[in-house]
Amino acid sequence: MERMTDAQTEAFIAARKSRNKALGLLLGGLAVLFFVITVVKFVI
């Protein structure tokens, strides 16, 4: 097995950070969406 080079390690960490940010935004967006849907369902 071959170890990752420093450049590959940096790229791996950057990509993981990007995925984590997107997942965080997705989960936050879902929380907001469910809240808004609940409020609207109570109103209508």
Partner 1 sequence: MNTTELPATYVAGELQATNVAGLADWRDYFALLKPRVMTLVVFSAACAMAVAPGHIHPVIGFVAMLCVAVGAGAAGALNQWYEADIDALMKRTANRPLPAGRVDRGEALNFGVAFAVGSVAIMGVAVNWLAAAILAVSILFYVLVYTVGLKRRTPQNIVIGGAAGAFPPLIGWAAVTGDISALPVLLFALIFLWTPPHFWALALFMEADYSKAGVPMLPVTAGATATRRQILLYTLVLVPVSLMPWALGLTGWIYGGTALVFGLGFIACALAVWRNTATLAADMAPEKRMFRFSLLYLFMLFAALVVDYWILPWNA
Q: Which residues bind partner 1 (CB under 8 A)?
A: 1-6, 8-16, 18-19, 21-22, 33, 36-37, 40-41, 43-44
Query: Which contiguous run of DSSP H or E holds residue 35?
Result: helix 6-43
Nearer to partner 1, 4 or 28 (CB): 4
Q: What's the closest the beta carbon of residue 30 comes to partner 1, in angstroms? A: 8
Residue 7 CA neighbour count, 13 Å, CB half: 0
Q: What's the closest the beta carbon of residue 28 comes to partner 1, in angstroms? A: 14
